[in-house]
Chains A and B, each alone.
Chain A
Amino acid sequence: MVALEAVLTATIQQVILVYTSLAVSITLGIPLAVVALNSHKLEKIIITFANLVQAIPTFAVVAIVVPLMGIGFWPAIFAIMLRALLPIVKNTWIGLSSVDPASIDAATGLGLTRWQTTRFIRFPHAYPPMFAGIKFAAILANSVAILTAIIGSGGLGTLVFEGLAGINITTMLAGALPAIFIAIFLDVSFTRLEYRLTAGR
């Protein structure tokens, strides 16, 4: 038997890990996409780097963080962010840069500044891919946050690894099942949010 309290604590920790890393990723990712939009050189570096890191197995990313930052909550957040950042940056950048050039032309002709064009023309156009990126990042964060228990982040992974170590299937499932529910919750809630924010576009 696994104590209900232990499961609850681990679940709360898991949720904190997911939302904290997601918040950090959004805060960093969207400005990075805007930077990529405004400089061809940085655009190339950022997008190439994003594509490259996306190919690397999560476990390797989590492991490499240990020699760099040690173990614990913040190294875990950093590891999760390394994964979750990429879909946000990439999708935002795709949305921002795929605006019809004629709209940009028209906006410039109306007298909008570069910043205003980005704010009023490019961003509204970029919302759908941006939200898709954020939803994907949230689901990814939940997935990585299980693994980061191995570097001492806490969360539902703690139960999974405990179960694995003692070959106790109940403990393993006590970690895995709530994580799946969180994944489904994230999928549904972000789809709803996406729908409400972009409805009518």
Chain B
Amino acid sequence: MIFDDVTAVWNQFNLTERTIEHLWMFSIALTISVILGIILGIILYQHKKYAEPALNGLNALETFPDMALLVLLIPVAGIGEVPTIIACIIYSLLPVTRNTYTGLVSVRPEILEAGTAIGLTEADIVRNIRIPVSLPMIAGGIRIAIVFTMGIVTLGGIIGAGGLGAPLQTGIVLLLPDVIIVTGLWVGILAVIFDGCAGMIEKRLTVRYGEW
């Protein structure tokens, strides 16, 4: 009975295609945020005097309401997937950058000293000690970025980006409870699964590389 209703909604609103669109945007946005975030974190580590202003700036952007950020991007980037992906990146950059930077700078001093004393160069220390020891921290940042990106990709439906936000909006505007429930729960399940997987990876890295 229930199954039939769900299938009906699913088919009528093309939820398979919507899900693919949704995850496509999600993957692109997340990949770019992670790459940019890690690079930016490393750059800030190399130029520490810029770290505080840069992180404060990203922090301020983070307080902007996500809808307001999307709207601000419309005059620049139009509507649809592009502004949605840009908004995702702006939001997700902070956790990845901040955690990369914090991970790199907060390695225990006696480990660094041991590295120096056995004759590692500064570059050896970054490559062999700082980066591996930071991995759990960076994974933690990516996990937050996953939650942010999922949230904004869903909002993208409102500005014509498609994805699962679109049927959600239709459901609300036309007051179709079954569409809202099916799509809403499906979005929720997807988000929880992604977050859960990220959490597991983070935990593994912590066990593998974490300090004891």
Contacts and interface: CB of A to CB of B under 8 A. Distances in A.
A67 B181 contact: yes
A154 B127 CA distance: 53
B79 to A, nearest CB: 8
B191 A60 contact: yes
Nearest to A169: B75
A197 B8 CA distance: 55
B195 A150 contact: no
Q: Is the interface of A mostly helix, strand, loop or mixed?
A: helix
- For chain A, the bracket of interface size reads 35 or more
Contacts of A60: 154, 168, 183-184, 187-188, 191
Contacts of B159: 164
Nearest to A55: B195
A184 B169 CA distance: 28
9 contacts: A52-B192, A60-B168, A60-B183, A64-B188, A160-B68, A175-B71, A177-B68, A179-B65, A180-B72
- For chain B, the bracket of interface size reads 35 or more
A177 B67 CA distance: 11
Q: Is the interface of B mostly helix, strand, loop or mixed?
A: helix
B64 interface: yes
B172 interface: yes
Interface in A40-94: 52, 54-64, 66-67, 71
A111 to B, nearest CB: 38
Contact of B187 (A52, A57, A184): A57
B11 to A, nearest CB: 20
B180 A66 contact: yes
Contact of B63 (A146, A177, A183): A183
A56 B187 contact: yes
Interface in B183-212: 183-185, 187-188, 191-192, 194-195
Most chain B beta-carbon contacts within 10 A, residue among A57, A139, A172, A173: A57
Contacts of A71: 175
Contacts of A64: 180-181, 184-185, 188
